[in-house]
């Protein structure tokens, strides 16, 4: 068995969640925050049998879009003026970690 940790954009979270459930996966959704942009995202925990891992990743992939996000920053000039500027950062689709599970018990 594997534990999938899937970090997904909040805008895709509902679609990822409902489609995983529709395919029979048991899902826990945690609200999380990206350390770089400091904006909200969603982390899904899924306990998955080995032969269903690729299907889970396929569903997550199908419903996670790439987005370009503007990150504003200021450039300070020698004159003392500050010029506002924007960096573009591509976020997503999804980041998925696959971990081995030693044991899982529903009590
Ligand atoms: P954030 O940390 O807010 O990162 C948002 C996007 O900013 C990233 O998109 C990436 O394009 C860029 N980025 C992140 N750290 C960077 C850095 N040190 N230098 C330059 N650019 C950087 P994604 O790669 O699609 O990541 C989306 C979210 O997934 C991340 O949000 C973070 O919450 C999570 N994530 C991605 N890779 C991770 C990892 N190796 N470990 C833990 N969490 C990760």
- For 54-87, what is each residue's pLDDT tens digit? 999 999 999 999 999 999 999 999 898 999 999 9
pLDDT tens digits for range 15-58: 999 999 999 999 999 999 999 999 999 999 999 999 999 999 99
Ligand 1 centroid to residue 78 C-alpha, Å? 32
Tokens of 52: 């269903």
Q: Give 42's strand partners.
A: 8, 31
pLDDT given at position 31: 98
Would you state the pLDDT for residue 63?
98
The strands making up 2-9's β-sheet, listed across from edge to edge, are: 27-33, 40-48, 2-9, 94-100
58 near 6, Cβ under 8 Å? Answer: no
- For ligand 1, say whether the CB of 90 is within 6 Å of any of its atoms: yes
Separation between Cα atoms, residue 7 and residue 105, nearest integer Å: 24
CA distance 6 to 47: 11
Backbone angles phi, psi at 81, to 5 degrees: -70, 155
**If you take atom 37 of ligand 1, which residue's CA is the nearest one?**
95
Asked whether the whole model's pTM tops 0.85, one would answer yes
pLDDT of residue 64: 98
């Amino acid at each position: 068995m594997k534990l999938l940790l899937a970090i997904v954009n909040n805008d895709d979270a509902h679609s990822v969640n409902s489609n995983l459930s529709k395919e029979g996966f048991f899902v826990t959704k945690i609200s999380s925050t990206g350390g770089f942009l400091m904006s909200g995202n969603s982390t899904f925990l899924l306990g998955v049998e080995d032969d269903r891992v690729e299907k889970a990743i396929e569903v997550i992939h199908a419903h996670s879009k790439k987005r370009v996000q503007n990150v504003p920053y200021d450039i300070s000039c020698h004159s003392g003026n500050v010029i506002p500027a924007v960096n573009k950062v591509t976020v997503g689709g999804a980041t998925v970690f696959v971990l081995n599970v030693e044991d899982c018990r529903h009590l």
